[in-house]
Structure 1
Amino acid sequence: MNKTILAGALLLALVGAAPSARAQAPLNPVQPWGSWVILTAQLPGSTEHRWGGYVEAQGRSNALARQFFYYELKGGVSFDIDPNFTFLVGGGRYSTSDYKDLDAGPLNTEKRLWEQLVLTQYSKRLKLEHRYRIEQRWFSFRDDSSSFRQRFRYRLNAFFPLNKKTITTGTLFLSAYDEIFLNPRGPVFERNRVYGGVGYQFTKHLIAQLGYVNQANYNYKTADGQFILQNTAAKNNLVLAVTYKFSHRAVPPGQERLPSQQD
């Protein structure tokens, strides 16, 4: 009799736990690998010509080379305060759609303005770049609503040339960065982006990089004050970035400029 009661109690416990088990399903379901393509034309500043700038087009897909859903067009004007310290003002337009129904138009479009400072550190081999950015963002949604947000970003980017001590023509190099995105209105820690890749500088103008980026968005869990990943977070992407660099005539042919991605 005791065994029957115990078995019944165990069965009831399992049935009662089933909804809870379903509720505890992973917050981050497995997603397909996405892809980013970044095309950039850049005019870096120099000691003799401190003004520079860039324009860029970028597209993203939910899966590898298919299910396109996002593009951005942007550009900026830069000024070299000194060889290791650059200020830039940029702006762009960003559009996000539902890849299952592109004909319905964008889910939202964003117009963005930003100001940034970039500090570079050169050693015999390892190169480091610190980028600080403040963004102003205006959103227009499909339902005719709109909103304004601000965001702060910090990126630490490292470069390591493999076959030379500097990154110039004919250099094979490694690149890696981590960038955090902060929202002053909360949740404060909004996004984290981690990248690793390999690049090659074909000429003084043409550079290509192939890499991997993991981008995770974060929510604020009010129950215990801990950050948790959103359902759409932690997506892996393959990234192809091609940069064409113009150069001022007075720039020495061997002068090193880091092949930073402008995104």
Structure 2
Amino acid sequence: MPVATTRVTLLLTAALSGLAGQTARGQTNAVQDRQLGTWHIATAVLPGGPKHWGGYVELQTRANGLFRQYFYTEIKGGVSYDVAKNFTFMVAGGRYTTSDYRDLDEGLLNSERRLWEQVTFTHYNARLKVEHRYRVEQRWFTFRDGVVPAGSSRYRNRIRYRLNGFIPLNHSTVTNKTVFLSLYDEVFFNPKGPFLERNRVYGGVGYQFSPNWTVQAGVVRQSNFTPASYQQNVYTPQTTVSKNNLLLSVIYRISRRNTGGPAPEYVPSQPD
């Protein structure tokens, strides 16, 4: 493996290990749900073509348990523009709904309409592919019975950054019939505070059957941070609630008209 690629690999590993370590240290006061949850993600992607425009649509469901207690759905899509081979800008939006998994018959706890803008930079090294994704979100909430829960609001902003690495195992690039590893860490920031709101760490394996079909399976650990508070002379320390989830993803990449040149290389990134 070239020296440059080895250095990038070490940097990526160190960064993810550091972030994961911070998450683990925040578990002192955690109240964890020890069930393994389930995330299903189905995505159709239109890559940027000769005129650089593309987009995607996605449906996602989540369950509190393993293939049971489905309480959360996402329907979203966006339009992208490839500024360069390794630099993409996107505007997207979606609808997100959450129910109480303990009483699904009671209907939605809340629904959310979300709009976001993001930029993605991708480094195509000899073997390791590294993606940096920056996202700014605007979020509007509707709550059950119109009652806003304590500590919540009807509108919020959020900033997200994801570092994602891909390593093809049986080819030098992610192409047809390629097995690959994927590892990412994503941090979520609240401009109003607490600054660090969420951390999401993922590790999994994928297989690209053809230019059109890619599947992934892995485990994602999501940690939500609740800020420390001092009310009525009572101090409550920061708490962290974490949950491990089995993630199953299917991506269909829509074919563009053949322009006669070599097929561009894509990383099998999850748009989520």
Shorter-chain TM range is: 0.7 to 0.9
Q: 2:211 aligned with 1:208, yes or no?
A: no
Equivalence for 1:173: 180
For 1:92 and 1:149, how far apart are their aligned partners in 2? 15
Q: 2:48 aligned with 1:45, yes or no?
A: yes
Aligned residues with identical type, % of pairs:
55
Q: Could you say what secondary structure the match of 1:143 adopts?
A: helix
The count of residues paired between Structure 1 and Structure 2 equals 235
For 1:226 and 1:254, how far apart are their aligned partners in 2? 56
Corresponding letter in the other structure for 2:123: Q
Equivalence for 1:183: 190
Q: CA deviation at 1:228?
A: 3.2
1:227/1:72 CA distance change after superposition, 3 Å: farther
Equivalence for 1:243: 251
For 1:180 and 1:239, how far apart are their aligned partners in 2? 18
> Unaligned regions of 5+ residues in structure 2, if any?
1-27, 149-153
Corresponding letter in the other structure for 2:244: N
Corresponding letter in the other structure for 1:176: L
C-alpha contact 1:213 1:239 (8 A) present in aligned 2: yes
Q: Could you say what secondary structure the match of 1:103 adopts?
A: helix
Q: 2:156 aligned with 1:154, yes or no?
A: no
- 2:85 aligns with one of 83, 86, 90: 83
Q: CA deviation at 1:145?
A: 3.7
Equivalence for 2:268: 259
- CA deviations on 1:159-208 (whole Å, 9 max, x unpaired) are 00000010011110000000000000111100000000000000110000
C-alpha contact 2:32 2:243 (8 A) present in aligned 1: no
Equivalence for 1:228: 238
For 2:126 and 2:32, how far apart are their aligned partners in 1? 44
TM-score normalized with structure 1 length: 0.85
Equivalence for 1:120: 122
For 1:103 and 1:219, how far apart are their aligned partners in 2? 28
Q: CA deviation at 1:28?
A: 1.8
For 1:79 and 1:254, how far apart are their aligned partners in 2? 18
- CA deviations on 1:96-154 (whole Å, 9 max, x unpaired) are 00122222110000000000000000111000000000000000000214600000000
Corresponding letter in the other structure for 1:243: I
C-alpha contact 1:168 1:255 (8 A) present in aligned 2: no
Q: CA deviation at 1:45?
A: 0.8
| Aligned alpha-carbon RMSD (Å) | 1.8
C-alpha contact 1:49 1:248 (8 A) present in aligned 2: no
Q: Could you tell which deviates more after superposition, 75-84 or 101-110?
A: 101-110
Equivalence map 1:61-140=2 (5 Å):
61-140=63-142
Q: Could you say what secondary structure the match of 2:264 adopts?
A: coil
For 1:98 and 1:125, how far apart are their aligned partners in 2? 44
* Structure of higher CA gyration radius: 1
TM-score normalized with structure 2 length: 0.82
> Unaligned regions of 5+ residues in structure 1, if any?
1-24
Which structure 1 residue ranges, 4+ long, deviate > 4 Å from structure 2? none
Q: Could you say what secondary structure the match of 2:214 adopts?
A: strand
Q: Could you say what secondary structure the match of 2:192 adopts?
A: coil
For 2:242 and 2:51, how far apart are their aligned partners in 1? 41
Relative contact order higher in (CA < 8 Å, ≥ 6 apart): 2
- CA deviations on 1:40-98 (whole Å, 9 max, x unpaired) are 0000114x230000000000000000011000000000000010100000000000001
